Amino acid sequence: MKKYSLFLFFIAAVLPLYAQRVEPAFWWVGMKEPRLQLLIHQNNIGTTEPQVTYAGVKLTKVTRVKSPNYLFLDLTIAATAKAGSFPITFKKDGKTVASYSYELKNREPNSANRQGFTSADAMYLVTPDRFANANPANDNVEGMVDKVDRAGKDKRHGGDIQGIIEQLDYIQKLGFSALWICPLQENNQNMGSYHGYAMTDLYKVDARFGSNEEYRKLSKEAQKRGIKLVIDLVPNHCGSEHWWMKDLPTDDWVNFQGNPKITHHARESIQDPHASEYDKELHASGWFVPSMPDLNQRNPLMANYLIQNTIWWIEYADLHGIRVDTYPYSDKDFMSRWSQRIMREYPRFSMVGEEWSVNPSIVAFWQKGNKNTNGYVSEMSSMFDFPLQNALTEALNEDDRIYNRGLVKIYQTLSQDFLYASPNDLVIMPDNHDMSRFYTQIHENFDLWKMGISFLLTTRGTPQIYYGTEVLMTNPKSDSHDEIRGEMPGGWADHTVSAFTEKGLTPQQLEAKQFMTKMLQWRKTNAVVQTGKLKHFTARDGLYVYFRYNDAQKVMVVMNKNKEPLKLDLGKYSELLKGASTAKNVLTGETNSLANGLTVNASSALVLEIK
């Protein structure tokens, strides 16, 4: 009996342990960066001696930390290394006590040259829990505490990856060529986990959305339809229930570890030449909220972990873009290194950062190529244009008869494009998942909605549209996130109205959807509104005129907020209309001679192809 017990103990010790966590769980040969750092987590693994034997792979460093349950292994993968599996063995007193079979995979053909999103794309934004529930079987998952409760505030509704897959044709037919989905990674938090921004496992899709394999399938199915998948990543923080919070590897794994302090959100302290060290530290290192510990990106082990996690998702899920949450809350020097590393591996990739400021100089600070007076060099190619979003809403709502109000706000904001290194690389939007819906912001004025959408789809930048905007979704009761992120009509079996099939839509909703589809499909085939130059004329008396132009094409856009039609004095625009004879209305297809002048209907936008 004694010998039998010892035999069982030995077998249990040397077999691969399913509770053992190795991150990243696998990697690829042929990456530009040959170094790979593995995080190993298992009881007392730090007391063992790891060994690796595989052609082209060398174990160069072993890092032990305060917690004995971690090891960090630095591997160097030679350019000659072949795809395959090899054992990582862990020995103690000369005996193997644990092992892990590690796999190196081949990269997909041309993986490094994947094309990111550009201003030629239009991006559709989806909150997955609220878009479409195609698999009710995963609404509630054993071991995950936040259950579906469609009537409760800030509760899960059951939307999932399969629901998005089944509506890819819908997204394609609307005219979108990029898809940004709010985070899908595991958020096993006690409450409010549906939004995805408090991750508890950075390598795993939340089981209530589906699986890693389903996410990869979504990416492949999207590509078949010409849609680029954009992941939403959160390098700044994790969820308070993240697995490592129960066993932190070091004393500085998260900021203010053991004595959490909440950030005061003084984002301007980063650029402020007069800022106190106290304000700069509290902003960048403070926790976003009590349930979101702030990750210490100055810790080199954490920095490597976050960089590799990003690359792993790009390579595994075959992604084409990243949206970076709460960009200015992260350590700014780390974010430069993070961006450089991603772009070194994928030179044509795209990333866009969130800096929710209506001050263009603050947003411009973070864009690659900007000459910052404090010497900071950013590597982030794109930022969200919150200043233009704010200007658009104010421009549509305000009385143009009052000095410095109304459409002049758009003109004034775009005139500050000199602050940006590359204004055409900005992502522009009428709203997003964190603010009141566009139709609500403009007090459900359909004429203004059409005017605003016309502007967004013809001005410079990459347009982003939030799901349901095409059918005039609103949040009339409150500006709470829960209401803003309402269920997409038709996404649940008990819905009587569907944006997808158009069942039950009002005539105005149908018109809105047709209007947006027409504009998006037209934009998709017109290089001049994707990459052309922008020239505009001072907005006055409720009238704003601008052109997109290149050597081959010209598009003229006229926004008229007046309650009566206006006949334009075309002589004012002769520098761009010289030699032109006709103007074709993009929406109606009607062509008119410019010799007869142009009349713009009341409360409308006119989009014209100039010939």
Distance CA 529, CA 458 (A): 6
Residue 351 one-letter amino acid:
M
Distance CA 561, CA 566 (A): 10
What is the crossing angle of helices 446-456 and 386-397, to 10°? 150
Distance CA 361, CA 117 (A): 24
Residue 15 dihedral angles phi and psi, to the nearest 5°:
-70, 150
Of the residues 241, 325, 470, 609, only one is catalytic, namely 325
Distance CA 156, CA 525 (A): 39
Radius of gyration of the chain (CA): 27
Of the residues 206, 294, 345, 354, only one is catalytic, namely 354
Dihedral over Cα of 282, 287, 288, 289: its sign:
negative
Print burial letters for 102-128: b (CB count within 10 Å at least 16), e (below 16).
bebeeeeeebbebebbbbbbbbbbbbb
Distant-in-sequence, close-in-space partners of 390: CB < 8 Å, separation ≥ 6: 358
- Catalytic residue check, 511: no
Distant-in-sequence, close-in-space partners of 66: CB < 8 Å, separation ≥ 6: 249, 250, 251
- Catalytic residue check, 354: yes
Helix (H) or strand (E) holding 305: helix 300-317
Starting at the edge strand found earlier in the chain, the sheet holding 591-593 runs 533-540, 543-549, 554-560, 604-610, 582-585, 591-593
End-to-end CA distance of the chain: 94
- Nearest Cα to 165, choosing from 126, 201, 207? 126
Could you tell me if 182 and 433 are in contact, meaning their C-beta atoms sit under 8 angstroms apart? yes
| Residues designated catalytic | 325, 354
